[in-house]
């Protein structure tokens, strides 16, 4: 593209090239700015900063578009499943039948944990947070397969196919066994013949004397939740994974950083907050009207509403609302929280406060209610998000690690602290 951006500082002028992406997103390339002018750009929170060029996921928040490798999320939700979409996100193309069969086999064949890892898991205090356990255990996989976690880029890329499937397989086992450890229940080993989510539910809820046999609708609903979380371009946890990977760190160490970032309530914790909010509304005997009035007064936020990027609708939320309806139609015990959620959504979408601020339900609004219906305890919700986001973290690690001219990520800052001063001896302070 020939267009140039002109930056004028005093009587000096600097020309920046511009970049256009495949979906016509435009950027000003400021990489030479500091060297030429001494100025850096300042963008607290990175709302206007493109940290990389990426071919994995495209989002248009104004139009409510989300596509992985070009495929609309609605088509993937209808025709694909989590494991196939994970392959697509990681490798860039839908797998052939043979590629998919081998990918699934590698995942199901690697689901169980090394006995040494089970011993580590067994020694956490019962009240440890599952996200803390997850981060330790993911790095522990790297300890058990040290040839895949060498921090030698070429060697780690050579082992990538195995390392990535180990992560996809074991993150689910770690999550399920964390729940069992906290409940004081014996380990359940995976059943290789089970599909990804069926196996997860088996490892969580089966007993040595009785298999847990969930309905197909339950397995499918969990699969959809994972699929809808699989990637979301440069969000906080994925950017963290890329930042760590840029130093040359191996895949295991990098995704552990993603887990830590996701743990924060502003990122991975919102679906939990939605369920707490709905429960509170239910316990207060409110149909949601009082809560909405309080949200408009700025006294509280309607959790699961609003998004930094989506300003029209979040396509994932629409898919989840209809899936929640389908699931609850099959379950014997309808959840009163679903009715409250639907009432809240309908009321908010007609209300000027929410319309003017472009606040729509986001992915977290219905996912929590579905997880609750499946029987997943509240404190495991963010771990489920982490299982879902694993393909995205892996794909971004691979994209960055495969880039021949990859540089370490190293933002600048505007220093606002004390200027130079002399050391004061202790007795004079």
Binding site for ligand COA (CB under 6 A): 270, 295, 298, 301-308, 357, 359, 362-364
Number of other CB atoms surrounding residue 78 within 10 Å: 10
- CB burial of 24-57 (b: ≥16 within 10 Å; e: otherwise) equals eeebbebeebeeeeeeeeeeeeeeeebeeebebb
Number of other CB atoms surrounding residue 257 within 10 Å: 20
Nearer to ligand COA, 90 or 302 (CB): 302
Q: What is the DSSP string of 40-94?
A: ----TT-TT------SSEEEETTTTEEEETTEEHHHHHHH--HHHHHHHHHHSSP
DSSP 96: P
Contact criterion met (CB below 8 Å) for 292 and 302: yes
Total residues belonging to the chain: 429
Residue 354 C-beta: closest distance to ligand COA, Å: 7
Contact criterion met (CB below 8 Å) for 52 and 89: no
Sheet holding 71-72, edge to edge: 57-60, 65-68, 71-72
Nearer to ligand COA, 5 or 294 (CB): 294
Residue 84 C-beta: closest distance to ligand COA, Å: 25
Residue 128 C-beta: closest distance to ligand COA, Å: 25
Contact criterion met (CB below 8 Å) for 288 and 344: yes
Show which residues are catalytic: 307, 364
Residue 368 C-beta: closest distance to ligand COA, Å: 10
Beta bridge partners of 7: 14
Number of other CB atoms surrounding residue 330 within 10 Å: 12
Q: What is the DSSP string of 196-248?
A: HHHHHHHHHH-BTTB-----HHHHHHHHHHHHHTS--SS-HHHHHHHHHHTTT
Residue 334 C-beta: closest distance to ligand COA, Å: 24
Residue 264 C-beta: closest distance to ligand COA, Å: 11
Nearer to ligand COA, 182 or 307 (CB): 307
CA gap 100, 88 in Å, rounded: 10
Residue 308 C-beta: closest distance to ligand COA, Å: 4
Measured from each CB, the residue nearest to ligand COA is 306
Contact criterion met (CB below 8 Å) for 190 and 199: yes
CA gap 174, 203 in Å, rounded: 10
Residue 3 C-beta: closest distance to ligand COA, Å: 29
Nearer to ligand COA, 61 or 72 (CB): 61
Nearer to ligand COA, 30 or 302 (CB): 302
Nearer to ligand COA, 59 or 117 (CB): 59
Contact criterion met (CB below 8 Å) for 238 and 254: no
Nearer to ligand COA, 30 or 337 (CB): 337
CA gap 15, 30 in Å, rounded: 9
CA gap 105, 375 in Å, rounded: 27
């Amino acid at each position: 593209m020939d267009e140039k951006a002109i930056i004028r500082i005093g009587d000096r002028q600097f020309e920046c090239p511009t970049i256009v992406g495949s979906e016509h997103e435009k950027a000003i390339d400021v990489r030479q700015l500091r060297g030429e002018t001494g100025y850096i750009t300042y963008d607290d929170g990175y709302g206007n900063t493109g940290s990389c060029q990426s071919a994995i996921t495209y989002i248009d928040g104004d139009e409510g578009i989300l596509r992985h490798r070009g495929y609309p999320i609605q088509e993937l939700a209808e025709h694909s499943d989590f494991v196939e979409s994970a392959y697509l996100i990681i490798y860039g193309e839908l797998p052939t039948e043979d590629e998919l069969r081998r990918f699934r086999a590698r995942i199901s064949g690697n689901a169980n944990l090394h006995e040494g890892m089970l011993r580590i898991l067994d020694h956490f205090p019962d009240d440890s947070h599952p996200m803390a356990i997850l981060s330790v255990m993911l790095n522990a996989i790297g300890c058990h397969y040290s040839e895949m976690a060498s921090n030698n880029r070429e060697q780690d890329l050579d082992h990538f196919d195995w390392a990535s499937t180990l992560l996809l397989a074991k993150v689910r086992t770690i999550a399920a066994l964390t729940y069992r450890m906290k409940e004081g229940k014996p380990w359940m080993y995976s059943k290789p013949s089970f599909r990804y989510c069926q196996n997860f539910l088996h490892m969580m809820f089966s007993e040595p004397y009785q298999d847990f046999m969930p309905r197909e609708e339950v397995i499918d609903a969990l699969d959809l939740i994972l699929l809808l979380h699989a990637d979301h371009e440069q969000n906080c946890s994925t950017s963290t994974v890329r930042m760590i990977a840029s130093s040359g760190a191996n895949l295991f160490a990098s995704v552990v950083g993603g887990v830590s970032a996701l743990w924060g309530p502003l990122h991975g914790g919102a679906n939990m907050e939605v369920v707490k909010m709905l429960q509170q509304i239910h316990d207060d005997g409110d149909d949601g009207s009082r809560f909405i009035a309080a949200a408009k007064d700025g006294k509280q936020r309607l959790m699961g509403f609003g998004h930094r990027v989506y300003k029209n609708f979040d396509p994932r939320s629409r898919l989840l609302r209809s899936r929640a309806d389908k699931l609850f139609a099959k379950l014997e015990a309808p959840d009163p929280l679903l009715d409250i959620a639907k009432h809240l959504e309908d009321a908010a979408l007609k209300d000027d406060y929410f319309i003017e601020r472009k606040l729509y339900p986001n992915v977290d609004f219905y996912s929590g209610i579905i997880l609750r219906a499946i029987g997943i305890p509240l404190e495991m919700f963010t771990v489920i998000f982490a299982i879902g986001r694993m393909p995205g973290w892996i794909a971004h690690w691979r994209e960055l690690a495969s880039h021949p001219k990859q540089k370490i990520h190293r933002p600048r800052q505007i220093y606002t602290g004390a200027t130079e001063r002399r050391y004061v001896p202790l007795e004079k302070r």
